[in-house]
């Protein structure tokens, strides 16, 4: 029954992804539309959603346990990343792609896929926990992950500076989250018209994110996908190892059950989209992460309902 409920929760998301794919196939949408949708989500709708969800679903008494949740997220992602680095050495993978391999292995798409999936599975109360994992995921990627991807290429002087990395970490969605937390801590009563505005704009996030994924899948040539040793270990890492590490780390803490379920789902999600962007910026192998992004997006349609069933029996 839980497995069926998980599948039913995912189906609306699947249909919107298919819509994005079909509209791209029909040439209604192209790469510029994809960039526009991405910008609207990251800069406008997602910050509004974060602010609205925090002030509507969190209380001051709940904030203390979220600090431990953030520690658990950082710890689980960092351990997964270190395992990826060990595999590169032990299995003698191409060291010129070591940074890319570790990033693909450890970092998931916590917003464009993670947010709508967790909303569909658990409702709006899951959104603050989605952002907790997002903070850890984004911080580690734009610091540790970025540093090692730069080491993959001969010229480490790429287009990203540390200032730009910090800007990526302190993004508009995070600022929306922080403002919501400040409102709760100070006991500020938000005018209803602002709450409603944030709610309506925030509701754009899921459909635009899923259409964006549909366009991305259409634009990726899956004919180049080959199930070699590298790809196999990346799939195992993203789908199996990362969630197992997360489950083990969560057992070290006494956290909210909903937070734990969200973290496990977040850890099993498709590859982080920004990895392909960084690979392109540093003239690394952009096709490598792009194919993994598309492949894991398709696999997530099967993986997410399975993990929904698993966590319902663990937590």
51-97 tens-digit pLDDT = 998 888 777 766 777 889 999 999 999 999 999 999 988 888 777 78
Contact criterion met (CB below 8 Å) for 233 and 294: no
How many angstroms separate the CA atoms of 80 and 88, rounded? 13
Q: What is the pLDDT of residues 237-247, one digit of tens each?
A: 999 999 999 99
Overall average pLDDT of the 30-40 stretch? 87
* Three-state secondary-structure class, residue 271: strand
Per-residue pLDDT at 165: 64
Overall average pLDDT of the 191-208 stretch? 91
Q: What is the pLDDT of residues 174-196, one digit of tens each?
A: 788 889 888 988 888 889 999 99
Domain edges within the chain = 1-314
Tokens coding 12: 């609306």
How many angstroms separate the CA atoms of 186 and 84, rounded? 42
Cα angle value 2/311/114 (rounded, 5°): 90
Greatest Cα pair distance, the chain, in angstroms, is: 59
Print burial letters for 38-57: b (CB count within 10 Å at least 16), e (below 16): bebbbebbbbbbbbbbbbbb
> pTM of the prediction?
0.84
Name the burial class of residue 272, with classes exposed (0-12), middle (13-18) and buried (19+) by CB atoms within 10 angstroms of its CB. Answer: buried
* pLDDT-above-70 percentage for the chain: 90
CATH topology (fold) of 1-314: Na+/H+ antiporter like fold (1.20.1530)
* pLDDT-above-90 percentage for the chain: 29
Overall average pLDDT of the 130-141 stretch? 89
Contact criterion met (CB below 8 Å) for 209 and 111: yes
For residue 272, pLDDT beyond 60: yes
């Amino acid at each position: 029954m839980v497995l069926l409920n998980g599948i039913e929760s995912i189906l609306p998301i699947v249909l919107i992804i298919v819509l994005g794919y079909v509209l791209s196939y029909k040439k209604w949408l192209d790469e510029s539309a994809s960039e526009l949708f991405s910008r609207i989500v990251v800069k406008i709708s997602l910050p509004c959603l974060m602010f609205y969800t925090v002030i509507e679903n969190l209380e001051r008494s709940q904030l203390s346990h979220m600090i431990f949740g953030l520690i658990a997220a950082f710890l689980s992602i960092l351990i997964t990343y270190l395992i990826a680095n060990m595999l590169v050495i032990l299995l003698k993978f191409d060291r010129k792609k070591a940074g890319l391999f570790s990033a693909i292995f450890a970092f998931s798409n916590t917003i464009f896929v993670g947010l709508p999936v967790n909303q569909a599975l658990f409702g709006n109360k899951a959104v603050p926990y989605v952002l907790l994992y997002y903070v850890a995921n984004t911080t580690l990627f734009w610091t540790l992950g970025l540093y090692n991807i730069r080491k993959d290429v001969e010229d480490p002087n790429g287009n990203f500076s540390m200032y730009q990395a910090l800007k990526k970490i302190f993004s508009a969605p995070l600022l929306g989250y922080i403002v919501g937390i400040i409102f709760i801590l100070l006991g500020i009563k938000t005018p209803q018209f602002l709450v409603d505005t944030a709610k309506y704009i925030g509701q754009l996030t899921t459909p635009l994110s899923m259409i964006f994924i549909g366009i991305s899948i259409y634009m990726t040539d899956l004919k180049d996908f080959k199930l070699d040793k590298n790809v196999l270990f990346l799939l195992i890492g993203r789908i199996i190892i990362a969630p197992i590490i997360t489950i083990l780390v969560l057992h070290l803490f006494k956290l909210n059950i909903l937070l734990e379920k969200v973290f496990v789902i977040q850890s099993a999600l498709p590859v982080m989209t920004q990895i392909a962007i960084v690979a392109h910026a540093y003239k690394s192998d952009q096709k490598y992460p792009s194919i993994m992004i598309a492949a894991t997006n398709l696999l997530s349609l099967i993986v997410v309902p399975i993990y929904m069933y698993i966590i319902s029996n663990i937590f």
